[in-house]
Structure 1
Amino acid sequence: MPIKNSFAERHAEITGWRRDFHAHPEILYETHRTSARVAELLRSFGCDDVVEGLGRTGVVGVIRGKQDRSGKVVGLRADMDALPLTEQTGLDYASTTPGAMHACGHDGHTAMLLGAAQYLCETRNFDGTCVVIFQPAEEGGGGGREMCEDGLMERFGIQEVYGMHNWPGLPQGSFAIRPGPFFAATDQFEIVVEGQGGHAAKPQEAVDSNVAAAHIVIALQSIVSRNVDPVEHAVVSVTSIESSSTAFNVLPQRVKLKGTIRTLDAEVRKQAARRMTEIAEAQARVFGAEAQVNYIPGYPVMVNHDAQTEFAAEVARAVAGDCAEAELVMGGEDFAYMLEERPGAYILVGNGDTAPVHNPRYNFSDDAIPAGCSWWAEIVERRMPVAGSGGRHC
């Protein structure tokens, strides 16, 4: 298709942007260099408006079509932040920032959306307005929430919003999507078990917080196996056990447990949080200890809207010839906040046979760029077709 040919011609330039971002990763809201470069490029493309500092370090570009009879406004979102990892790829454009790495492909997402923005600024073959959104702090910082709270949707009049993520293991340049719940809610917890410290040789004179904590860890697994409906999905994982004692002959006064709960349903989410508190407190009492639970809500469930999901899949089929049904993902994604504000959809684009994301050997596949850019551009041109262009509305 013509758009794919166009992006094949731009491939080297877009790859250059991507590799520059990869070499200079920035974490959470500290995307100052990345954000400045994104804004610079958007202005050079001829965006009608470029706004910086939304959601702290987010960047938004506005592109108006050759017509605006429809009054439609479609948002396209890419994330910009990296992860606190040390890269082990050996690439000649590997991270130059100690302890930071683009290990989730946000460098590729940003570059692909920039490529689409460049094309849309040149052609403007749509009836309405496209808003390109470059978001910081997806990796645990809630940048999507921050941008929404800063008035993203209202300020730019966004009516629908679409997102994309690369996916290792999915054939390169192919697509996968599913309607409804897609990515899980990502809550965290801390449980402090308070006992009575003492000599390890005299356990009868102490209250062993280690034993109480160990029973809590085991009992928490019953939430999924015995409380949650078997047809629902949930994960309860204790990921850290910290003792106040490091000596071999001292029973600790205190033990702290940390972990995460992942769910795909609002009621299951509430149930899991309630049962975790009940179990921790009751198990601690059995051994004469006390448990204090700090439940920390994280990203909500990311839910794709039905009509927009079907439209996104239709566009993917036009670009790649097919669109698979994606599996449920128990990882989190803060695009969920944008989908709570406006209808839209989130799609996966194949990264091929690569290391998994969040791995120090991961690298975004530049060969996926034409497909990703084409999907972005087609979303705009098909959702807001110029009269007589043959585009379809969902």
Structure 2
Amino acid sequence: MLSDLIQLRKDLHKHPETSGEEKETAKRIKGELEKCGADEILTGLGGHGVLATFRCSSKNPEKRLLFRAELDAISVEEETNLPYQSSLKGAMHGCGHDGHMTILIGLAKELHKNRPKEIDVYLLFQPSEETGEGAARVLEDDRFKELNIDHGFALHNLSGFAENRIICKSGPFAAGSVGLEISVKGAFSHAAYPERGLNPSVTVAQLITEIDARMKAFRDENESNKIVCTYIKMGERAFGISPGKARIGFTIRSASDEKLDTGVKLVYEIIDKVKQDFTGQVSLKKVEPFRATINSEEGAEVIMNVSEKQGLDYKELNAPFPWSEDFGEFGQQFPIAIFGLGAGQDKPPLHSEKFDFNDNLIPAGIAMFRGIVDYYQSM
């Protein structure tokens, strides 16, 4: 089974699709699930999402568990020169979602061979994880609402940790984040007559310096609270034009959704103050929102117990990761827990153009997920 799964993983890697474009990936996953004898397969969840149901042998479930993997790739040009390198320019599986999907298909194969007696299992292949939009759209689907899930689980491969080490903690596991795009609109003019236009540069400078200064208290309050200016776009490389519009991007992060909202409100207040001195237009929109990923105490305990039973090294996290994970959105509807699966200390980092999923993680990932099912079955 492992050699077939590795081949599947490499095929998925070779044909990546970015957020919202996962049509062919979803079709491939559906075909694999059909081979595994899923009782029901739903498609079109939250876009191109796929969900497979494996009902318990007793037909009288005591628990309903969800396991999730991600369908989407990232917008990075791959530079691995592997035989199965991405065939799509400007897109690659640089976050390991190809491996996560493969692990979930491996679990499907295990469930096909041996159904739990009293546990219904749902396997979700979620779209648009990278943009923070997929989980919310899945949750909006009435077909998903009807499932009455008791607990959800997921994993993520993590470079920089020992291979097959399990990394977890209860409470905040990954930060919430949101992108803020500020648009400043004035009026273009000839650079010889700047007074005939409205150049936004001074307002842009004020916004950046004011936000940096006013957000110091937010940053100092907790080490997970962060804000960074991610881009500035104003004008072109031309010396005869006074630009008339600009865009500024910020990302705010926090391990608390409440603190994240506080930070966003403060940025709105700063914008309202600065734009009073600008006769043009200043607007703000939120993009790529991620809730903080909060592991339930029960789920974290299950993961720790299962890792020990599987003979896998377990590491308790001291603090949440600063990156964001769309899985946190599901925590608004039912308890969730996600764990890291160490990919090796010398592996390229996630989202690197050199990244490739470590296939040695596939057996451990399957064993952890199957072990979680068996843990609940034995309760």
The corresponding residue for 2:315 is 324
Please list the CA deviations of residues 141-165 of structure 1 after superposition, one character each: whole Å capped at 9, or x if unmatched.
5221111111354333321110111
CA distance in 2, matches of 1:227, 1:49: 47
SS at match of 1:89: coil
The corresponding residue for 1:349 is 341
- Which residue, out of 297, 303, 306, partners 2:297? 306
User: Is 1:334 equivalent to 2:326 in the alignment?
Assistant: yes
Measured after TM superposition, the shift of residue 360 of structure 1 is 1.0
CA distance in 2, matches of 1:86, 1:245: 25
Aligned 8 A contact 1:173 1:320 in 2: no
CA distance in 1, matches of 2:264, 2:132: 21
Aligned 8 A contact 1:193 1:254 in 2: yes
Return closer, same or farther for 1:283/1:19 CA change in 2, 3 Å cut-off: same
Return closer, same or farther for 1:240/1:37 CA change in 2, 3 Å cut-off: same
CA distance in 1, matches of 2:32, 2:190: 65
Aligned residue pairs, count: 376
Return closer, same or farther for 1:282/1:321 CA change in 2, 3 Å cut-off: same
The corresponding residue for 1:5 is none
CA distance in 2, matches of 1:267, 1:57: 31
Structure 1, unaligned runs of 5 or more: 1-9, 386-392
Return closer, same or farther for 1:41/1:252 CA change in 2, 3 Å cut-off: closer
User: Is 1:296 equivalent to 2:296 in the alignment?
Assistant: no
CA distance in 2, matches of 1:64, 1:196: 62
Please list the CA deviations of residues 221-242 of structure 1 after superposition, one character each: whole Å capped at 9, or x if unmatched.
2244234552353221222212
CA distance in 1, matches of 2:79, 2:52: 34
Please list the CA deviations of residues 238-286 of structure 1 after superposition, one character each: whole Å capped at 9, or x if unmatched.
2221224643254433322122211222332222112212223433545
Measured after TM superposition, the shift of residue 295 of structure 1 is 3.2
- Which residue, out of 332, 354, 363, partners 1:361? 354
CA distance in 2, matches of 1:155, 1:176: 32
- Which residue, out of 364, 367, 384, partners 2:377? 384
Aligned 8 A contact 1:39 1:50 in 2: yes
Return closer, same or farther for 1:208/1:44 CA change in 2, 3 Å cut-off: closer
Structure 2, unaligned runs of 5 or more: none
Aligned 8 A contact 1:153 1:341 in 2: no
Please list the CA deviations of residues 323-379 of structure 1 after superposition, one character each: whole Å capped at 9, or x if unmatched.
212342222211112121111201110111211111111000001111111001001
User: Is 1:315 equivalent to 2:273 in the alignment?
Assistant: no
CA distance in 2, matches of 1:281, 1:156: 44
**Which 4+ residue blocks in structure 1 deviate beyond 4 angstroms?**
194-208, 288-291
Q: Give 1:252's aligned amino acid.
A: P
- Which residue, out of 19, 30, 36, partners 2:27? 36
Q: Give 1:371's aligned amino acid.
A: A
The corresponding residue for 2:169 is 178
- Which residue, out of 65, 68, 75, partners 1:77? 68
User: Is 1:161 equivalent to 2:152 in the alignment?
Assistant: yes
- Which residue, out of 84, 98, 103, partners 2:89? 98
CA distance in 2, matches of 1:223, 1:330: 21
RMSD over equivalenced CA pairs, Å: 2.3
SS at match of 1:115: helix
The corresponding residue for 1:6 is none
Please list the CA deviations of residues 187-212 of structure 1 after superposition, one character each: whole Å capped at 9, or x if unmatched.
12122334566666787887652122
Return closer, same or farther for 1:206/1:145 CA change in 2, 3 Å cut-off: closer
Please list the CA deviations of residues 10-62 of structure 1 after superposition, one character each: whole Å capped at 9, or x if unmatched.
32121111111111111223222221222222221222222222223111111
- Percent identity between matched residues is 28
